Structure 1
């Protein structure tokens, strides 16, 4: 697996890991920013609700005092009593009402003044009995909240309750003026810190604030405002350099908005700074990582790939390859060991080839020496016995005997063709048919004639079929040689109609052939030798197999399994 991990894949994985880390950090940073912003907005909403609650209490208090004095009997009958009372008693009555109004101011922090104005008499009682104080009362015809000269008033009129749906003119007006500075001081409770500001916006025109409000922000907010009395509405406002979130709460009784806005840059700036530091760190890690990868590639990976390439050449049989590139200390010893190892392997293969050639030559000479001399004697005696009355038989015997021994004496190569090996076996069979009653048949497909084959591999099996098969059974006289091919092997089946072998004898014979040493004596040595040569030359899947045929005799199957190299040769022969 490590051999297949290319450098490009490693770089891709490294970059992917960095991008994944960067993405996770970006997501975490966004989540942190969102969480912080949500917490800030939540805190601002709570503060806004708190101020709204205080303001509702102030308005309720002003409303209550206005209604209280509008329905008060002393106030309602004050004008009629003044006419009937003396000047002293009238003044005392006036002082009594004013004292009651002033007592309210002592118990309230939000009320600046309270006044009562009788329209028909144009008389005015107030805690602030100045000419300017009575002016806001003159135009009032109905109860409600008003902004007059930058101050917030609540007006109650008498009659307070209209009868039968008829609008009756106001007899007198009770006005409660709230402290503007106190209302502005409430705005401090609606801000988080110096990055926040709050203000009241009345009728979307008049502004109350303790701090200066940016005009562009005010215009943008004014265009976005919608009256939603029961909820706090959030808006976003952005400039080139700053980001804001804006919260507004509509106060329906006074037709005003309580608005707070916060610049988020001051809160998110530490996170932005951390993000920038992290990005710089990621770039530094990326640069360092690429440098390490380049160094690894130059000093290690390239040398490892070179070593892998050289090993592949050795596997393909190129034992002359060497590593001649200059390298550093880490790989110098390894490359030197590789060159030494390949040189040793090359010497070993040369030595092995020499020994193999010598062994095959010795085996061939041994096989040539093992040819039964009795075969020659019997053939010569046959020639002598028929020389006087059958010259043709002498000529045929002499011809095939000469071809037989010429093949043996001139055999100096390690491979022959299948056709020549079968011709050699046929010479032997013809010689045997001249002296004995034997019939034979050889079936060789034409496309297999030039197939390379190790020499003297078929004749010993044919000779064994005649000596131990046909000669051991009365009337036996048939020998067949059948050559076939499969996908990866060649089979040569040699069958006779001799006495055959029992299953126990076949098993015993197969056991002898599997032995590493030849059987004692001369019986079975030929078959053991053929089986051993087949396995040594063509691999462990090759060898001899035995079975009883339809004649009752023995069939010897010679299986030749071609390796990859032999298979290529076979395929070439088959195509030719």
Structure 2
């Protein structure tokens, strides 16, 4: 009865865990959708404000030139001077004013033409001196912005300042025409992707856009618009198949709206699709899990009792026992492993070479298992932190992290080359440089690249240089690996500009290296292990040596003895 209760608890926990996972995923999906939408809207508002700033500058420029020429003395007295001057001087005066107008066009990207029209004389000076160019000026009586035949004008009149608030008839009109194509090109700066579009809406009637705008969408947007000059207004628009968010910015001087709209389906549909796939997967896992639990619960006791009986026989020394009964598929692998284990016990004594290989293999697996899991966690968190704004950094980190762990997981030889070990250490250094300000240099002579070396012997020392050297000193950031060969040894020197060690600390560290047992705690175990492996593999003359370098940091010399017969074996491998 007690065992059944434990199994029920396990089933309850399994179902609770799946329901909790579903709930968390639902909440995370909603939060992700909301965060993504808020980020899109924030980016669109910033772009809209940016374009509004450019428009303000263009309107200020047109306003300034209109007022400048409306108040210009040469323009004001032009008609009276023309009457008094000869034809030649009159033409020169006209050319002088026109040249001044054209000089403005040379320095402005947004102004298409500037014209001056005298109403009583019906004379006209302009950078575009065509019959059609003067038509928009004839009906102008007061200054301000107008849309004329699809073009945007700013008109300034003289007298510019009215006395006693009385409207005096305009003597002449200065008109500044803006480039329609240039204004439309600004719409590209107001959108952030292909799912967005932007347009100008003048007087809630005239539309300027480089892309086609859906009529139903335009009607809906027009009905929602409210003039709020100092802020960007957001609206939502929904159809049967699409969802949009609309941003509007009212430009009061020209009585126009700068509007952008974005179709959110392209961004949110992948999240919805992933949610549906996940829900279906969880339901399938739940169904399958309940079936497996039921099958396990039904056949559990019989097979466990059989296994206990056979283990008892092995404990009593009966190594010939085997499980030959018909078993369910769930326990087939387990019983086969038991039979294999008992057979292996009968062959307990193997040759010395096999025993040595197993010991070295176990030592290598232990070293692989000692790789600090925080290194992986920190690398993954780094990838998460930069994924949205730096895809190149994500690709570099992922590439070197994959190479780093591929080397670890596929390492099945007792000896590798010096070049591959240094490449493994370089992957580690590159990963560290992406998250820390670290510079490194590796100097490997080409003739030593293929030198056989016991694996996982350099990276622990490099990791120690960063963790206990560089990270312990403010501003430290340099690591070098220098490889040299003498007649009797291969020397691999790992140096850092970290906090270094005093002579007393170096002496204490060297004492720890000579000990037959690793130091207590975690600190120093990695170096002790490397030193012990060097001596076991390459002889007592090999090992680690420590010294203070010119930077004030610590240099670790990895000495590999290749003298006499030992050296020949290493080099000729």
For Structure 1 versus Structure 2, the TM-score category normalised by the shorter chain is 0.5 to 0.7
Q: Give the deviation of 1:147 after TM superposition.
A: 0.5
- More deviation, 516-525/249-258: 516-525
Q: Give the deviation of 1:91 after TM superposition.
A: 1.3
Indicate how the Cα distance of structure 1 residues 84 and 198 shifts in structure 2: closer, same or farther if over 3 A, else same. Answer: same
Q: Secondary structure at the match of 1:399?
A: helix
Q: Deviations over 1:472-530 (max 9, x none)?
A: 99999999999999999999999999999999999999999999999999999999999
Indicate how the Cα distance of structure 1 residues 467 and 122 shifts in structure 2: closer, same or farther if over 3 A, else same. Answer: closer
Q: Secondary structure at the match of 1:5?
A: helix
Q: Secondary structure at the match of 2:494?
A: strand
Indicate how the Cα distance of structure 1 residues 106 and 426 shifts in structure 2: closer, same or farther if over 3 A, else same. Answer: closer
- 2:72 counterpart residue number: 72
Q: Deviations over 1:270-309 (max 9, x none)?
A: 3233323322321221121121133234334899999999
Tell me, in whole angstroms, the C-alpha distance in 2 between the residues paired with 1:231 and 1:532: 71
Given the two structures, how large is their TM-score scaled by the length of structure 1? Answer: 0.52
- More deviation, 350-359/128-137: 350-359
Indicate how the Cα distance of structure 1 residues 457 and 209 shifts in structure 2: closer, same or farther if over 3 A, else same. Answer: closer
Say if 1:447 and 1:574, in contact at 8 Å, map to a contact too. Answer: no
Q: Deviations over 1:422-442 (max 9, x none)?
A: 999999999999999999999
Indicate how the Cα distance of structure 1 residues 409 and 90 shifts in structure 2: closer, same or farther if over 3 A, else same. Answer: closer
Q: Deviations over 1:425-482 (max 9, x none)?
A: 9999999999999999999999999999999999999999999999999999999999
Q: Secondary structure at the match of 2:349?
A: helix
Indicate how the Cα distance of structure 1 residues 66 and 2 shifts in structure 2: closer, same or farther if over 3 A, else same. Answer: farther
The two structures, once aligned, show a CA RMSD in angstroms of 36.0
Q: Deviations over 1:207-246 (max 9, x none)?
A: 1010111111111111111111111111111222222111
Indicate how the Cα distance of structure 1 residues 484 and 69 shifts in structure 2: closer, same or farther if over 3 A, else same. Answer: closer
Say if 1:499 and 1:553, in contact at 8 Å, map to a contact too. Answer: yes
Say if 1:470 and 1:496, in contact at 8 Å, map to a contact too. Answer: yes
Tell me, in whole angstroms, the C-alpha distance in 1 between the residues paired with 2:115 and 2:386: 170
Q: Give the deviation of 1:557 after TM superposition.
A: 92
Given the two structures, how large is their TM-score scaled by the length of structure 2? Answer: 0.52
- 2:48 counterpart residue number: 48
- More deviation, 289-298/314-323: 314-323
- 2:327 counterpart residue number: 327
Q: Give the deviation of 1:269 after TM superposition.
A: 3.2
- More deviation, 173-182/158-167: 158-167
Q: Give the deviation of 1:88 after TM superposition.
A: 1.5
Say if 1:58 and 1:110, in contact at 8 Å, map to a contact too. Answer: yes
- More deviation, 477-486/294-303: 477-486
Indicate how the Cα distance of structure 1 residues 168 and 17 shifts in structure 2: closer, same or farther if over 3 A, else same. Answer: same
Indicate how the Cα distance of structure 1 residues 90 and 308 shifts in structure 2: closer, same or farther if over 3 A, else same. Answer: same
Tell me, in whole angstroms, the C-alpha distance in 2 between the residues paired with 1:115 and 1:387: 54
Tell me, in whole angstroms, the C-alpha distance in 1 between the residues paired with 2:186 and 2:388: 153
- More deviation, 531-540/296-305: 531-540
- 1:129 counterpart residue number: 129
Indicate how the Cα distance of structure 1 residues 456 and 314 shifts in structure 2: closer, same or farther if over 3 A, else same. Answer: farther
Counterparts of residues 491-570 of structure 1 (less than 5 Å): none
- More deviation, 280-289/250-259: 280-289
- More deviation, 283-292/456-465: 456-465
Tell me, in whole angstroms, the C-alpha distance in 2 between the residues paired with 1:378 and 1:259: 43
Tell me, in whole angstroms, the C-alpha distance in 2 between the residues paired with 1:183 and 1:481: 59
Tell me, in whole angstroms, the C-alpha distance in 2 between the residues paired with 1:89 and 1:382: 76
Indicate how the Cα distance of structure 1 residues 75 and 445 shifts in structure 2: closer, same or farther if over 3 A, else same. Answer: closer
Indicate how the Cα distance of structure 1 residues 14 and 173 shifts in structure 2: closer, same or farther if over 3 A, else same. Answer: same
Q: Secondary structure at the match of 1:192?
A: coil
Indicate how the Cα distance of structure 1 residues 107 and 16 shifts in structure 2: closer, same or farther if over 3 A, else same. Answer: same
Asked if residue 573 in structure 1 is aligned to residue 571 in structure 2, the reply is: yes
Larger radius of gyration: 1
Q: Give the deviation of 1:38 after TM superposition.
A: 1.3
Say if 2:487 and 2:563, in contact at 8 Å, map to a contact too. Answer: no
Q: Give the deviation of 1:151 after TM superposition.
A: 0.4
Number of residue pairs the alignment of both structures matches: 572
Q: Give the deviation of 1:254 after TM superposition.
A: 0.5
Q: Secondary structure at the match of 1:174?
A: strand
Q: Secondary structure at the match of 1:105?
A: helix
- More deviation, 275-284/459-468: 459-468
Tell me, in whole angstroms, the C-alpha distance in 2 between the residues paired with 1:41 and 1:157: 42
Q: Deviations over 1:116-156 (max 9, x none)?
A: 11111111111111111111111111100010100000000
Gaps of 5+ in 1: none
Say if 1:538 and 1:563, in contact at 8 Å, map to a contact too. Answer: no
Indicate how the Cα distance of structure 1 residues 489 and 320 shifts in structure 2: closer, same or farther if over 3 A, else same. Answer: farther
Indicate how the Cα distance of structure 1 residues 526 and 193 shifts in structure 2: closer, same or farther if over 3 A, else same. Answer: closer
Say if 1:448 and 1:574, in contact at 8 Å, map to a contact too. Answer: no
Indicate how the Cα distance of structure 1 residues 11 and 142 shifts in structure 2: closer, same or farther if over 3 A, else same. Answer: same
Gaps of 5+ in 2: none
Q: Deviations over 1:320-373 (max 9, x none)?
A: 999999998999999999999999999999999999999999999999999999
Say if 2:544 and 2:559, in contact at 8 Å, map to a contact too. Answer: yes
Say if 1:143 and 1:154, in contact at 8 Å, map to a contact too. Answer: yes
Q: Secondary structure at the match of 1:112?
A: strand
Indicate how the Cα distance of structure 1 residues 311 and 117 shifts in structure 2: closer, same or farther if over 3 A, else same. Answer: same
Q: Give the deviation of 1:17 after TM superposition.
A: 2.0
Indicate how the Cα distance of structure 1 residues 219 and 11 shifts in structure 2: closer, same or farther if over 3 A, else same. Answer: farther
Indicate how the Cα distance of structure 1 residues 301 and 11 shifts in structure 2: closer, same or farther if over 3 A, else same. Answer: farther
- More deviation, 437-446/291-300: 437-446
Tell me, in whole angstroms, the C-alpha distance in 2 between the residues paired with 1:92 and 1:183: 34
Say if 1:158 and 1:171, in contact at 8 Å, map to a contact too. Answer: yes
Say if 2:489 and 2:563, in contact at 8 Å, map to a contact too. Answer: no
- More deviation, 84-93/545-554: 545-554
